Structure 1
Amino acid sequence: MFIIENYNIVFLVFLVLILLTIFLIMKIVFDKFKDLNSKIDVIDGHILENSKKLDVIDKYVLENSEKLNNIVEQILESNKNIKLNNENILNTSMELKNAIKQDFVIFNNDIKLSTSSIEDKVENYIKLQDKTTINLGTKLENYFTNITKIISTLKIDNLISITNEINKYRQGVLEDEFFLQEVGHCKIIKFTDKSNNDFTEVFYNDSGEKLYAETYSEDKLKFLIKYQNDKIKDGIEFDKDGNVIFEYFYNEAEEISKKIEYEYHNNGKRIKEEVNY
């Protein structure tokens, strides 16, 4: 009976630490949101006040994804209306041209030049609207993707830190409904996500500080997180062929200061986009 009660106490302590972990993760995530886009400060405030569980983050991301999709749909619908208006303008221009030809034969050449100029401007305007709409849609999609990647990186790092704190005096294999954790020398050295079988291995120096962590998906390296003085220094994301597609650099506050995206051609790797925050 005494052992069961102690087990319950340990379970409750573990549960409390998990909840504290969730709050810490949410705070870090939404601090990132503030630096990325000051316009979502109000949303960050509401989420920091109302979120109590880690799955609320996923729900929030899903809700905002739907909102972003709605915005894109609204933009596309607006673009259709713009195209329709431009077509009406073009049709009106043609009708005016025909009327002027019939009534003012003498000015026929001038009318043609004017009409051609109007048509060119309308066509350029349509192309500009199309390009603006596509660029905005791409930016929204990239923004959502970056948020998701930041959340994934933070989940990995915070899971390592919190699990190490919990298992200071434990070792062996620990398992719950979400993760399978291998603890050695009172440090987590490997944990496996049961939902997708992705696993992360953590490496330490002689002082017990984290050096780097590798995350594998389908036995292929997916993420590499490097540490300096036990803090995140930079992160690397790989594609299925093992090529580097993203590099993330962090400041002293463990906030992303720069992101580099790479693409590959026949001539090799080159920088596609570099963003400083």
Structure 2
Amino acid sequence: MESDENKENERKIAIMEEDIAITKNMAQIKHKIAVMSGKGGVGKSTVSVNLAVAFNQKGYHTGILDADFHGPNVPLMLGVEGKHLDADERGILPVLTKENIKVMSVAFLLPSKDSPVIWRGPKKTGALRQFLGHVAWDELDLLIVDNPPGTGDEPLTVLQSIPFLDGIVIVTTPSPVALEDVEKCVSMAKSLNIPVIGIIENMAGFVCPKCGEESFIFGSGGGERIATKMEIPFLGKLPIDLGNVSDSDEDMHIITQNNNSLFSQRIMEIVDKIEEHIKKRSD
């Protein structure tokens, strides 16, 4: 009995020490934003990466945490897949892209890109807390967390563990099924008293690579309608733009492929709105 009590006390002390490490580490970062989606397949990681690159282009010292353990695609999209982690007295060192964006992902810990992460919930949440508390993010202007889809253990761990989170950005598509799941993300954020910065409607139209005409093959306006219904900001629409997708496996972020594309213009407009939100929270 006494042994069980000792183990429980040790567990509580370990959690408390981890909380202190996270608070101290996150305090060096001026702004923290979590990107969420109610379901998979809506392009959340693509949006997260392009937001990070766009903020970096605006002069923000930016980092991105790939919290999607079962689909860690951020390193591939940023051209750093296959890199290995180092550590020093400060902790685990994130990988740097050629634009000097700091990246942390479970993909850097896997033996190969084909290796699956077969972990139960407690191991995943423990690893996430390690990434928050023991990665040497240092003094960043902005950390973007690419959450896995849904409202399960990992998103909950991120939202509950990061102190002074500036808010969440929700990515959806015009699909009625995706829009229905948006409400769950909004409800989750409200229950945790975390601001919803706004909704981004991704895949809102297809831009023909030959003529440049935009066609709304999945419908349009659903993201704006759900934002109005839930009384939260609508940040904008992002089209499918095949003319800007690289054929290579590296550097797949669209805004550096073609800064004059419709996608690039709209992502910069969205970044301006997010920047306005975080600046207001700093005042």
TM-score, normalised to structure 2's length?
0.29
Higher strand residue share? 1
Structure with max Cα Rg: 1
TM-score, normalised to structure 1's length?
0.30
